[in-house]
């Protein structure tokens, strides 16, 4: 299957009052995400992966022993990661559904403890990468991954992911990654979307 850049599920300026500017989304979605689409399509052309789903490509090209992943994996994975990321955020106030609040409290002790652990994972990811809330079997866990690696590589379900590549936050937060992560959790997350992935 050819990769196609999805439209954002909201206007480019819809998150501006919540800490993610129109300029950030123009760069991040229109340029960076589009580059993964274009480069991914070039990379899979004429290969065994052409015509496969993005999930099949990610699982089939991930090499757990590699110091650096291959170009097909990197572009397919980052294409998928960003598709999820836009959906995991939204404008307006998002109330956390009761079943998600209960699950987070059971897994982490409280919602605040979950937020602390998630923020610490993102702040502690050296260089580029992602932090995640995942479902691993029946357990909820916080993880972090380098570059474009994502939970699909480990047979996990991504419930929430935050992009900690600098292009995701530098325009709005400069080098203050912890502040970006706090703002993401407190103002940007679409908790209904997170709950729907459980």
Annotated binding site for Mn(2+): 28, 82, 163, 167
Residues 6 or more apart whose Cβ sits within 8 Å of residue 143: 121, 131, 132, 134, 151, 154, 156
Tokens of 126: 């050296």
Name the binding residues.
28, 82, 163, 167
Closest CA to 57 of 19, 3, 13, 137: 3
C-alpha–C-alpha distance, residues 64 and 154, integer Å = 9
Q: Count H helices, E strands: the chain?
A: 9, 3
Q: What is the 3-state secondary structure (H, E, C) of 106-169?
A: HHHCCHHHHHHHHHHHHHHCCCCEEEEEEEECCEEEEEEEECCCCHHHHCCEEEEEEECCHHHC
Buried b vs exposed e over 90-109: b needs ≥16 C-beta within 10 Å?
bbeebeeeeebbebbeebbe
């Amino acid at each position: 299957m050819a990769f196609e850049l999805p439209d954002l599920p909201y206007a480019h300026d819809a998150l501006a009052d919540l800490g993610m500017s129109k300029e950030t989304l123009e760069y991040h979605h229109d340029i960076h995400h589009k580059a993964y689409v274009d480069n991914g399509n070039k990379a899979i052309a004429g290969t065994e992966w052409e015509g496969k789903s993005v999930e099949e490509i990610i699982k089939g090209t991930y090499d757990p022993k590699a110091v650096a992943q291959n170009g097909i994996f990197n572009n397919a994975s980052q294409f998928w990661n960003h598709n999820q990321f836009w959906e995991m955020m939204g404008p307006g106030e998002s109330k956390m559904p009761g079943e998600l609040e209960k699950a987070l409290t059971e897994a982490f002790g409280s919602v605040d403890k979950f937020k602390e652990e998630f923020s610490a994972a993102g702040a502690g990811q050296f260089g580029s990468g992602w932090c995640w809330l995942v479902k691993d079997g029946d357990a909820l866990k916080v993880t972090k991954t380098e570059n474009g690696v994502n939970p699909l590589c480990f047979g996990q379900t991504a419930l929430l992911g935050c992009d900690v590549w600098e292009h995701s936050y530098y325009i709005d937060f400069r080098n203050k990654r912890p502040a970006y992560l706090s703002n993401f959790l407190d103002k940007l997350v679409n908790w209904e979307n997170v709950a729907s992935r459980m």
